[in-house]
Structure 1
């Protein structure tokens, strides 16, 4: 079923073909959507471009969310080319290594601020830019993790940062709902992505998820993409402010 036929979406956060955003982009395209895709910088572009070609992206544009001029240019180009968008996926997170690998107690002010800016506030900035282009309503999606809700060993400062992101989802949903814009977060189980490789003892996290999840399996980026399609489609027109777990049931276990 082409659940997204006639819809146009912006995908932010593809690092390579194995990233969560890449899995979502493939699912969006398979469901009939037209896509715009961003890349961080020229160094990252060769890893993103093959995915953009695979999903027939109509636009491939640079975006460093810390650069307001690039953010403005991105949405100006989308407005000029398309006039509107129907959905947006934000799948980016960052924390300096020295802060990510230390205790929350010891996190530096600068590291915490940068992690919060890139991983959380950038979603708010994107929502503000997307709002006037979602003329017929739309869907904003971001990516979280269970460490926002419960303490996960070695997830450290990203736990508070993702908790702020999930709270932002709820407040954005309340504020943008009257305009027909829905806001939800995807919360996948552990996935072997480049971003996740920065977490200490990540292999142990993977093993625990597989052993303790009710389905006794790991999820894939395709699983996350399928959920993203459902949330971006009209079938989810009354679903907003939610955290959608895609983790084979791991989050229900004590």
Structure 2
């Protein structure tokens, strides 16, 4: 019995970077569950670098920073596939090339670019494919476990992810006027991905977060993928406009005895 009931579903997956990425782990799980996965990557160079990984799977090019490329993606995918049953939005970008700066000194251009790529792209993709979504389609984005903790080294991406979380709610509401399309976010704790490697001081934060989990083991990328697959499936039909936190209990364990002893 296929619990997820994803057989024959067609799902667009964005943001595959390499074998470590959330998008790749999710796509693998979806394929194992019988879904047809369509891949969208940022550039021809990224497509070429993923050649061994993706093989002969259908791969489209779309740099979501540009509306013209989103429109082209919609035209190409709709011509080849028609109806879509889901979207995995696993896209985020922050330009830290100016070096670490306190939040109040965030460069305007870097912040706006990050909002455009990491947040607005969800809105733009949802709208571009509005006529292609199946009535009960499910759209899932990747956020973070909390946007209320001002992690200095995460910089302006915290507020950007907060905007993404809010957009999930507003998209769910606005789409409910004419469809049953669902919007949800997975909100994982710190992960070992190539994207996280570009965040200043990330390793120290990761190790601290791992100690704060109840099981003393960090969240695994596979665990995030499992949750995304569930949210894409009909089994989660009652879940809409939510952010599912996947942090292995970290959020309730900041006063763990072991952590307190180490800090004293």
TM-score strictly above 0.5: yes
Name stretches of at least 5 consecutive residues in structure 2 with no aligned partner: 255-264
Aligned to 1:237: 237
Looking at structure 2, the residues matched to 180 and 101 of structure 1 have their Cα atoms a distance apart, in angstroms, of 43
Contact 1:22-1:51 within 8 A present in 2 as well: no
Deviation of the 1:141 alpha carbon: 0.8
Which secondary structure state, in structure 1, belongs to the residue aligned with residue 209 of structure 2?
Answer: helix
Looking at structure 1, the residues matched to 103 and 192 of structure 2 have their Cα atoms a distance apart, in angstroms, of 24
Closer, same or farther: CA 98–105 of 1 in aligned 2, 3 Å: farther
In the TM superposition, what whole-angstrom CA distance separates every residue of 1:67-117 from its partner, at most 9, and x where no partner exists? 222211211122111111000011111111146721110011111110110
Name stretches of at least 5 consecutive residues in structure 1 with no aligned partner: none
Q: TM-score w.r.t. structure 2 length?
A: 0.90
Which secondary structure state, in structure 1, belongs to the residue aligned with residue 63 of structure 2?
Answer: coil
Contact 1:27-1:229 within 8 A present in 2 as well: yes
Looking at structure 2, the residues matched to 95 and 139 of structure 1 have their Cα atoms a distance apart, in angstroms, of 26
In the TM superposition, what whole-angstrom CA distance separates every residue of 1:126-179 from its partner, at most 9, and x where no partner exists? 110122111322111111113423222311100110000000011111111341
Deviation of the 1:205 alpha carbon: 1.3
Looking at structure 2, the residues matched to 85 and 154 of structure 1 have their Cα atoms a distance apart, in angstroms, of 38
Give the structure with higher Rg (CA): 2
Closer, same or farther: CA 47–222 of 1 in aligned 2, 3 Å: farther
Contact 1:39-1:48 within 8 A present in 2 as well: no
Looking at structure 2, the residues matched to 157 and 128 of structure 1 have their Cα atoms a distance apart, in angstroms, of 26
Looking at structure 2, the residues matched to 100 and 126 of structure 1 have their Cα atoms a distance apart, in angstroms, of 31
In the TM superposition, what whole-angstrom CA distance separates every residue of 1:201-239 from its partner, at most 9, and x where no partner exists? 111111112111112211222111110111001011110
Looking at structure 2, the residues matched to 2 and 34 of structure 1 have their Cα atoms a distance apart, in angstroms, of 17
Closer, same or farther: CA 2–31 of 1 in aligned 2, 3 Å: farther
Looking at structure 1, the residues matched to 85 and 252 of structure 2 have their Cα atoms a distance apart, in angstroms, of 32
Which secondary structure state, in structure 2, belongs to the residue aligned with residue 223 of structure 1?
Answer: helix
Following TM superposition, the consecutive aligned residue runs of length 4 or more in structure 1 with deviations greater than 3 angstroms are none
Q: TM-score w.r.t. structure 1 length?
A: 0.93
Which secondary structure state, in structure 2, belongs to the residue aligned with residue 137 of structure 1?
Answer: strand
Contact 1:141-1:184 within 8 A present in 2 as well: yes
Aligned to 2:68: 69
Closer, same or farther: CA 99–227 of 1 in aligned 2, 3 Å: farther
Q: How many residues align?
A: 251
